A and B are shown apart, each in its own frame.
Chain A
Amino acid sequence: SQQGEEDPQALSIQEGENATMNCSYKTSINNLQWYRQNSGRGLVHLILIRSNEREKHSGRLRVTLDTSKKSSSLLITASRAADTASYFCAGGSRLTFGEGTQLTVNP
């Protein structure tokens, strides 16, 4: 069972543009986490947002959380080719992962 479902499944943008990925989840959460996975590598933790937080920033990343809608979004500003990767949200007592959004940033 998937706790998080990312939308869109795939996103292709030009360098310098902003990328927004969305995540919807099913059950109550204490926090929501976002991870990045480069091709052929393991996942890398990006940011954790707690259920009592609405927004969190880390460098070019901005995460929002709306617990009433059971949704979260990840915004990457001024994207770079190196941001090309799959992005996953994860939450719940067993940290269940969604299927991910494949982001391609074209030079």
Chain B
Amino acid sequence: NAGVTQTPKFQVLKTGQSMTLQCAQDMNHNSMYWYRQDPGMGLRLIYYSASEGTTDKGEVPNGYNVSRLNKREFSLRLESAAPSQTSVYFCASSVGPISNQPQHFGDGTRLSIL
């Protein structure tokens, strides 16, 4: 039982390149989330998907797009990467609504943009 799996674990991009971060969960959870974590800061919500077929913006959505491919998978896309998007990205999932259930996290994707 893997929980939440993120790929890749590390990535270096040049400014202007595009990339998709992948996330999959095997816990049959309804809700999934993408966060970014910058040094000395807590997690900031980028986008979330309360249920299959729905997505909503979080606190810092600019420069990102998401796709809830099916119940298991939720991807995050950077269309034109910028140095300000250098960060550690975490995917998470939960049984139900965002604030009422514990979230289960992947181990993150460390993304550097040069």
Q: Please indicate the chain A residues that have their CB under 8 angstroms from the CB of B35 in the complex.
A: 97
- The size class of the interface chain B forms with chain A is 20 to 34
Within 8 A of B (CB), among A53-107: 88, 90-100
B39-70 to A contact mask, C-beta < 8 Å, 1/0 = 01111110000000000001100000000000
Total interface residues on A, CB under 8 Å, equals 26
Asked if A94 and B4 make an inter-chain contact with CB atoms under 8 angstroms apart, the answer reads no
- The answer to whether residues A42 and B107 also contact, given A95-B45, A96-B45, A100-B42 and a CB cut-off of 8 A, is yes
Asked if A2 and B99 make an inter-chain contact with CB atoms under 8 angstroms apart, the answer reads no
A52 on the B face (CB < 8 A): no
CA gap between A30 and B105 in the complex, in Å: 21
B102 on the A face (CB < 8 A): yes
A residues near B (Cβ < 8 Å) are 1-2, 4, 29-31, 33, 40-45, 48, 88, 90-100
What are 28 residue pairs bridging A and B, where the CB atoms are less than 8 Å apart in the complex? A1-B59, A2-B42, A4-B42, A30-B100, A31-B100, A40-B107, A40-B108, A42-B4, A42-B105, A42-B107, A42-B108, A43-B92, A43-B103, A45-B103, A45-B104, A88-B42, A88-B43, A90-B43, A94-B98, A94-B99, A95-B45, A95-B99, A96-B45, A97-B42, A97-B43, A98-B42, A99-B40, A99-B42
